[in-house]
Chain A
Amino acid sequence: MTAPATPTGPVEGGDSASGKRASGDDGQPIQAIHAAPTGVLRRYVFSVDHKVIGRQFLFLGLIFLAVGGVMAMLIRWQLASPGRPVPVVGRLLFGGSGGVISPAAYTSLFTMHGTIMIFFAVTPILIGGFGNFCVPLLIGARDMAFPRLNMLSFWTMAASTATLTASFFVPLGSAQAGWTAYATLSTAIGAPGTGQTLWTVAVYLNGASSVMGAVNYITSVVRLRAPGMNYMRMPLTVWGFFLTSMLNALFVPVLGAAMVLLFFDRVFGTQFFVAGSTIRGGGDPILYQHLFWLFGHPEVYILILPAWGIVGDLLSFFARKPAFGYRVTVASLIAVVVLSCVVYGHHMFTTGMSPLLGESFMLLTMVISVPTALLFLNWLGTLWRGAARMTTPMLYCVGLVFTFGIGGLTGLWLADVVADMYLHDTFFVVGHFHLIMAAALLLATFAAVHFWFPKMFGRMMSERLGKLHFWPTFISLNLVFIGQMLIGYAGMQRRLYDPSAYDFLRHLLPWNKHISQAAYVLGAFQLVFVWNFFYSMKRGKPAPANPWQVGTLEWTVASPPPHHNFDHIPVVVRGPHELGHPAAIARGKDWLAQDEVIE
């Protein structure tokens, strides 16, 4: 294992080691350089700078990640110690019931935990935060194509979070219909309070924000790539955001349609999702599930594609060799995007779907494991015989490869109709889902934070604290989610208030206790990350321009970059992963910048 952060070679100023560059600005006065705004409001609050908006999304997402995480701890408390008062914060949060989580509060907790983590933590952190920060910098642009739309996207997200937060303070409390908000639990019949209505509005606004981002990301990638940055020279990170934006643009509106109809049902008294009579016809609760999962399955790829892209790049950067099978990786990502549109039925095997249709969805779902396996093998190929630098971002990436492997394989069980009939609605589903959507995405998030922190804030995060955070997080994540799969396989259903009330689940109580203990460890060690994040922002070692010694464009400018990113639009002459290139070795280093001219 080599030393962290700045392992070998001279890094002073970063830039000086990287040779000559050409400028792509000639005859191309396209992306004007605007002076940085001086007022505090225009600079930090209503900014149109993608780097500021990215950080705004990041902070908003991290706050809600903490809120959703506390909710997870409370859920685990109820499963481990059913009906016992919550220590420390119990009286404050559940004063009415003497600190005990009531059934209604528990239902609300798991509903809002899911909602917050999916829509208000992962989406703003990965897509809003890193998407905004990275896309223009990595393609060599001075900003997004539509900076003001970008600002509107963030403030729509802020309005959405305000609406969601308000739902906690209305009579009957917040939404309680699960994060999927199945009808008729979510219609006026199942959820009479205002909380579910506010939830519906919040999710709609959240989607509107995502769509605005998607319009911006796609247009920026299509139009603002620096000269020479053809599609096959784009970093995989950009591919991830590009493809995610396409899915966002096409499938978030389907969720929007579901929310519109749910809103009409709740507010205007229509009956789209209320079962109708056989004489007059009428609504259909299953219709909601179709609309939700038409969006919902692409949504999991919307969330994981940026993570795949980031990991694809970072594994190459820290294995110090080019990404193995770059073109195959890109083709696999595209294949996953296409296939993700036609597999949603696997969420609905138990709704009385025609067996023939179920079989079709099963086959299509299993086919998706082919491009995914290629992607996975390419990661292993990238690692194979690399000169690995086990920095903190690399650790998170390798951890992701592991959890994604297990999470992906167990997906095949759930894709199988026969196995799914038994496993449906058990903690096996919860464990599988969390291994990918929680474990893998969190590890990608931490990798991205550690990796781009120097570019965002001009300082390095502590490697020592990073490792102190990684190992307990990685181990406890796996204990929690693999444990959940085990008890799910043993038959424990999800969303039960007190599983120990049932004879056939009582023997699982000790298991639940152990899973909860691992979850508390997981929760506690996140404080290390919080400390590292804020301490490094103030006191971290000042970051050079290119601390990781890699060649993508964001590392050719200062840390943090100037307001307009690039003094001269770079001219790209090679791909993003030129590590170990002989021409570089001849110059006493092992990487070449994407715009570096070799004479």
Chain B
Amino acid sequence: MTAAGATRSRRDIDASIGMVIFLATVTMLFAALLLAYAVLRTQAPAWPPAGAPPFPRAAAGGSSLVLLAASFALRRARRAGSSAWLRAGATLGVTFLALQVSLWRHLVAGQLGPGHGPLADVFFALSGFHALHVAGGLVAIAATGKRRLGLLVTYWDFVAAIWLIVYFAVCVL
């Protein structure tokens, strides 16, 4: 192995250790948010809360598929080293954010916006904060491009997994 090769692989290991620690912190953040959700839900006399309009599960589920597709595209980009797949991943990420924004607008119009009961509050806060992490992933794509594809894939897989957990916990359970 050449000296340059050895250097690169060592820096890569450093970077993945740093990434694991960072993801541990984000995990704790979402774990705490889900704990808050669990506390509110167990204290509520009925769930979904009495008088709340039905929650549009299917619409939220649709955006889940888009986020998964973004993750898939980035994996392809890593394997093929292709800019086209990277752009596709970024586009799908932007689409996910757009879908979330339109979902929030729909929820606010349908008496399920913030302040309309605990279910609406929980979904709004968790999906909103999650969307910020997706936006952070888009910034990372813009900033690093193809240089850090391994780390990007790790991060996007993680963000997609967090979203699936949030969706399952809040919208399905």
Question: Does the CB pair B18–A219 fall under 8 Å?
Answer: yes
* A256 / chain B contacts, CB cutoff of 8 Å: 29, 32
Q: Which listed residue, B3, B6, B36, touches A287 by the CB 8 Å rule?
A: B36
Question: Does the CB pair B17–A264 fall under 8 Å?
Answer: no
Q: Does B128 contact A (CB under 8 A)?
A: yes
Q: How far is the CB of B162 from chain A (nearest CB, A)?
A: 13
Q: Is the interface of B mostly helix, strand, loop or mixed?
A: helix
Q: Does B47 contact A (CB under 8 A)?
A: yes
Specify the chain B residue showing the minimal Cβ separation from A146: B18
Q: Which of the segments B74-82, B86-94, B110-118, B153-161 contacts the partner chain?
A: B110-118
Q: Does B51 contact A (CB under 8 A)?
A: yes
Q: Which listed residue, B17, B28, B128, touches A223 by the CB 8 Å rule?
A: B17
Q: Which listed residue, A214, A219, A270, A278, touches B125 by the CB 8 Å rule?
A: A270
A-B contact count (CB 8 A): 132
Specify the chain B residue showing the minimal Cβ separation from A224: B14
Question: Does the CB pair A272–B115 fall under 8 Å?
Answer: no
* A279 / chain B contacts, CB cutoff of 8 Å: 45, 50
Given A253-B26, A270-B114, A281-B44, answer yes or no on A215-B21 (Cβ-Cβ < 8 Å). yes
Q: Which listed residue, A250, A261, A264, touches B25 by the CB 8 Å rule?
A: A250
Specify the chain B residue showing the minimal Cβ separation from A223: B14
Name which of A258, A268, A287 has the most chain B CB atoms within 10 A of its CB: A268
Question: Does the CB pair B51–A264 fall under 8 Å?
Answer: no
Bin chain B's interface residue count: 35 or more
Chain B residues 36-56 with CB under 8 Å of chain A are 36, 39-41, 43-47, 49-52
Q: How far is the CB of A140 from chain B (nearest CB, A)?
A: 16
Specify the chain A residue showing the minimal Cβ separation from B124: A270
Q: Does A257 contact B (CB under 8 A)?
A: yes
Question: Does the CB pair B118–A276 fall under 8 Å?
Answer: yes
Q: Does B135 contact A (CB under 8 A)?
A: no
* B32 / chain A contacts, CB cutoff of 8 Å: 253-254, 256-258, 291, 294
Q: Does B164 contact A (CB under 8 A)?
A: no
Q: Does B173 contact A (CB under 8 A)?
A: no
Q: How far is the CA of A319 from the CA of B142 in the complex (A)?
A: 55
Q: How far is the CA of A276 from the CA of B50 in the complex (A)?
A: 13
Q: Does A13 contact B (CB under 8 A)?
A: no
CB 8 Å contact bits of B105-147 with A (1 = contact, 0 = none):
0000000001101100100110011000000000000000000
Q: How far is the CB of B141 from chain A (nearest CB, A)?
A: 18
Q: How far is the CB of B121 from chain A (nearest CB, A)?
A: 4
Question: Does the CB pair A272–B125 fall under 8 Å?
Answer: yes
Q: Does B24 contact A (CB under 8 A)?
A: yes
Question: Does the CB pair B36–A218 fall under 8 Å?
Answer: no
Q: How many residues from A make CB contacts under 8 Å with B?
A: 43
Question: Does the CB pair B118–A282 fall under 8 Å?
Answer: yes
Q: How far is the CA of A257 from the CA of B46 in the complex (A)?
A: 25
* A149 / chain B contacts, CB cutoff of 8 Å: 18
Q: Does B33 contact A (CB under 8 A)?
A: yes
Question: Does the CB pair A216–B18 fall under 8 Å?
Answer: yes
* B115 / chain A contacts, CB cutoff of 8 Å: 268-271
Question: Does the CB pair B21–A284 fall under 8 Å?
Answer: no
Question: Does the CB pair B7–A280 fall under 8 Å?
Answer: no
Given A281-B40, A282-B40, A284-B39, answer yes or no on A215-B118 (Cβ-Cβ < 8 Å). no
Question: Does the CB pair B14–A145 fall under 8 Å?
Answer: yes
Q: Does B168 contact A (CB under 8 A)?
A: no
Question: Does the CB pair B40–A283 fall under 8 Å?
Answer: yes
Q: How far is the CA of A272 from the CA of B115 in the complex (A)?
A: 9
Q: Which listed residue, B17, B35, B121, touches A222 by the CB 8 Å rule?
A: B17
Specify the chain A residue showing the minimal Cβ separation from B16: A219
Question: Does the CB pair A211–B22 fall under 8 Å?
Answer: yes
Q: Does A96 contact B (CB under 8 A)?
A: no
Question: Does the CB pair B7–A272 fall under 8 Å?
Answer: no
Question: Does the CB pair B21–A214 fall under 8 Å?
Answer: yes
Q: Does A260 contact B (CB under 8 A)?
A: yes
Q: Does B10 contact A (CB under 8 A)?
A: yes
Q: How far is the CA of A218 from the CA of B21 in the complex (A)?
A: 8
Specify the chain A residue showing the minimal Cβ separation from B4: A29
Q: Does B58 contact A (CB under 8 A)?
A: no
Question: Does the CB pair A254–B118 fall under 8 Å?
Answer: no
Q: How far is the CA of A360 from the CA of B73 in the complex (A)?
A: 49
Given A145-B14, A281-B49, A283-B40, answer yes or no on A264-B26 (Cβ-Cβ < 8 Å). no
* B10 / chain A contacts, CB cutoff of 8 Å: 30
Question: Does the CB pair A253–B28 fall under 8 Å?
Answer: yes
Q: How far is the CA of A257 from the CA of B41 in the complex (A)?
A: 17
Q: How far is the CB of A298 from chain B (nearest CB, A)?
A: 11
Q: How far is the CA of A218 from the CA of B18 in the complex (A)?
A: 8
Q: Which listed residue, A30, A249, A261, A281, touches B117 by the CB 8 Å rule?
A: A281
Jot down 15 A-B pairs with beta carbons below 8 A, ordered by A. A30-B7, A145-B17, A215-B25, A219-B21, A252-B25, A254-B29, A258-B32, A276-B44, A279-B50, A280-B118, A281-B46, A281-B47, A283-B40, A283-B121, A287-B40
Residues of chain B having any CB pair with chain A under 8 Å: 3, 6-7, 10, 13-15, 17-18, 21-22, 24-26, 28-30, 32-33, 35-36, 39-41, 43-47, 49-52, 114-115, 117-118, 121, 124-125, 128-129
In the complex, besides A30-B6, A281-B47, 18 extra interface pairs with C-beta distance below 8 angstroms are A29-B3, A214-B21, A215-B22, A219-B17, A219-B21, A249-B25, A250-B28, A253-B26, A253-B29, A260-B125, A268-B115, A268-B124, A270-B115, A276-B40, A280-B50, A281-B43, A287-B36, A290-B39
